[in-house]
Amino acid sequence: MRYDQTNEKVKGDKIMPFVHVELMEGRSLEQLENMMKDITEAVHKNTQAPKEHIHVIINEMKKGTYGVNGEWKK
């Protein structure tokens, strides 16, 4: 089931937003959990997708595996 802009159910489809977050490692599990909850709330508020259909994937990058302007971010 999908929700249109008037929040009416549209037969047949499901809205299943996937949000991918890439960030440097080093945050606590509590910080990541709070971020996941905040992202879920924001997506729900702006799309009216049911929270149980919103997927948040957080990928933590190891230090030394990411660079900007030709230099490693440490």
Tokens of 73: 């971010």
> How far from 46 is each of 25, 33, 50, CA to CA, in Å?
28, 20, 11
**Which residues are part of the catalytic machinery?**
17
Query: Is 54 within 8 Å of 37 (Cβ atoms)?
Result: no
